[in-house]
Amino acid sequence: MSENLDNRQVKDCLVQLKCHFTWKLVLDDTDIRDLEIRVSEHIENVDMNNTVMYNLQAYVRHLKGQNDKALHSLKEAEDLIQREHADQSDRRSLVTWGNYAWVHYHMGRLADAKMYLDKVENTCKKFASPFRFKLECPQLDGEEGWSLLKCGGQNYERAQACFEKALKFEPENPEFNAGYAIIAYRQDCDNSNVISLDPLRKALKLNPEDGYIKVLLALKLQDIGEEAEGEKYIKEALSNKSFQTYVFRYAAKFYRKKGCIDKALQLFEKALQATPNSAYLHYQIGLCYKIQMFQVKGSTNRQDREIIGRFARLAIGEFQKTTTDRPTFEMAYINLADVYAKLGQYEKAEENFQKALCMKDIPDHLQQDIHFRYGRFQEFHRKSEDEAITHYLKGLKIEEKSVVRDKLLNALEKLAKRRVQHNVCVVESFSLFGLVHKLKGEVNEALLCYEKALRLTEHLNPMF
């Protein structure tokens, strides 16, 4: 590459690279701190994909204006490649070199940026790439997939496409199968879905010692009613030292869902020792305390009130830690609101519900859950059936099939039935009955309800 290239010409070369600066990772400013924590936790506690994590750490540090620290992370990635992939170091280094070039460019060091562009260009020539600064390589697709996966839900579809592309070249690659299985699990928004089941089983078959995949498979089996088989994998994973921090957190989630709250809390606390700033762990611990709070039936007994108050304070503290570390964690606000509602602190509950309701780019199944939970709050705490109906309907307008959608239908049906029995807004209530039947696919029942509503309308307005 010519030494006389100016700033603009260097930039034209940089945009052709395949690296974090060109992958268009979707990140909000509020996500960056949490992502940095999660990447650091991975590097400290997981002996897998750390080249990917050092590269991602470098990019995050650049976004924070810490370019010197970014260069340090890239040096860590480069050293790791030399130790673990010396025979493939040129191909494996392409993303790292691309990131180096970009960081030096942003620091105004054009000569250094050109040096790394030369390294990429020479490697592309070596492997006869038709592109000057790009090489089609499954390892690069895999690294892009892992980076997108780590950056959160808005990147999941693209991450899945990356792993699918890599698997076309190497269908039995354990690393690519693990990435694909994890992304499939993350997108199994409906507990009854089995989309991720086969990918998880295949990934575990290719790497039987992968404790992380074992606990995810266990959770998926629990979702579909195969809890006994799932617990077998949990016990195997807990007896293995690999991925221990992640095993603790997901094994704890398994036991929370099973109702073994004390056991879940013990495991969450073990995981927290390794990753004390984990928003995910504080959220899960908050859920445990919330469950314990709601399990106390009495509210007039002084002792029961004290127990409820103690668990409520613990839950509130954990959910607040979650939202401090990850301000976009919508379900933390919803669960915090549920706790305040239980305590009768409706203004604080409303405030937290509104924070979640105002968030953008939320997955459909979570939007459904937010409207369902807020509708329940309006119906049973605020005693506002009209507001409840509004939010049940908003949730049902989101057409994604999910467990929550069924809950929305049942909630709307029960509310409409109660209003008919008490002779409240009968025409509207029969219309709602009709809508529920229609959405359930019960066409004849829906028509009968709509006809009933029409007859009532004619009876109430005979002049029409």
Euclidean distance between CA atoms 357 and 379, whole angstroms: 17
Examine the pLDDT at 209 and tell me if it is beyond 50.
yes
Residue pLDDT, tens place only, 278-331 = 999 999 999 999 999 999 976 668 888 999 999 999 999 999 999 998 999 999
Examine the pLDDT at 464 and tell me if it is beyond 50.
no
Q: How does residue 461 score in pLDDT terms, banded at 50, 70 and 90?
A: low
Examine the pLDDT at 434 and tell me if it is beyond 70.
yes
pLDDT greater at residue 460 or residue 17? 17
Q: How does residue 190 score in pLDDT terms, banded at 50, 70 and 90?
A: low
- 144 within domain boundaries: yes
pLDDT greater at residue 192 or residue 284? 284
Examine the pLDDT at 460 and tell me if it is beyond 70.
no
| Residue 374 pLDDT | 98
Q: How far is CA 415 from the centre of its chain?
A: 32
Euclidean distance between CA atoms 340 and 347, whole angstroms: 8
| Residue 242 pLDDT | 75
Q: At what angle do helices 443-460 and 426-439 cross, to 10 degrees?
A: 170
The mean of the pLDDT values for the chain is: 93
| Residue 457 pLDDT | 84
| Residue 12 pLDDT | 96
- 423 within domain boundaries: no
Lowest-confidence pick of 55-59, 117-121, 190-194, 213-217: 190-194
| Residue 4 pLDDT | 54
- 226 within domain boundaries: no
| Residue 30 pLDDT | 66
Q: Which domain holds residue 125?
A: 7-171
Whether the model clears a pTM of 0.75, i.e. scores above it, the answer is yes
Examine the pLDDT at 271 and tell me if it is beyond 90.
yes
| Residue 87 pLDDT | 86
389, two tokens: 């109906």
| Residue 228 pLDDT | 98
Residue pLDDT, tens place only, 409-425 = 999 999 999 998 888 89
CA distances from 62 to 9, 74, 179, 204, 274 (A): 22, 11, 25, 36, 26
State percent of the chain over pLDDT 90. Answer: 79
Radius of gyration of the chain (CA): 27
125, two tokens: 């020539």
pLDDT greater at residue 45 or residue 226? 226
| Residue 423 pLDDT | 87
| Residue 109 pLDDT | 96
State percent of the chain over pLDDT 70. Answer: 96
Q: Name the helix (H) or strand (E) containing 78.
A: helix 67-84
Q: Give the pLDDT mean for 429-449.
A: 92
- 107 within domain boundaries: yes
pLDDT greater at residue 7 or residue 235? 235
Q: The CATH number of the domain where 96 resides is what?
A: 1.25.40.10
Angle at 441 between CA 438 and CA 444, to 5 degrees: 70
Q: Give the pLDDT mean for 446-458.
A: 88
| Residue 191 pLDDT | 58
Q: At what angle do helices 279-295 and 261-274 cross, to 10 degrees?
A: 160
Examine the pLDDT at 462 and tell me if it is beyond 60.
no
Euclidean distance between CA atoms 46 and 56, whole angstroms: 15
Examine the pLDDT at 359 and tell me if it is beyond 90.
yes
Q: Give the pLDDT mean for 371-378.
A: 98
124, two tokens: 């592309």
- 365 within domain boundaries: no
- 85 within domain boundaries: yes
Counting the structural domains of the chain, the total is: 1
Examine the pLDDT at 2 and tell me if it is beyond 60.
no
Residue pLDDT, tens place only, 332-352 = 999 999 999 999 999 999 999
- 24 within domain boundaries: yes
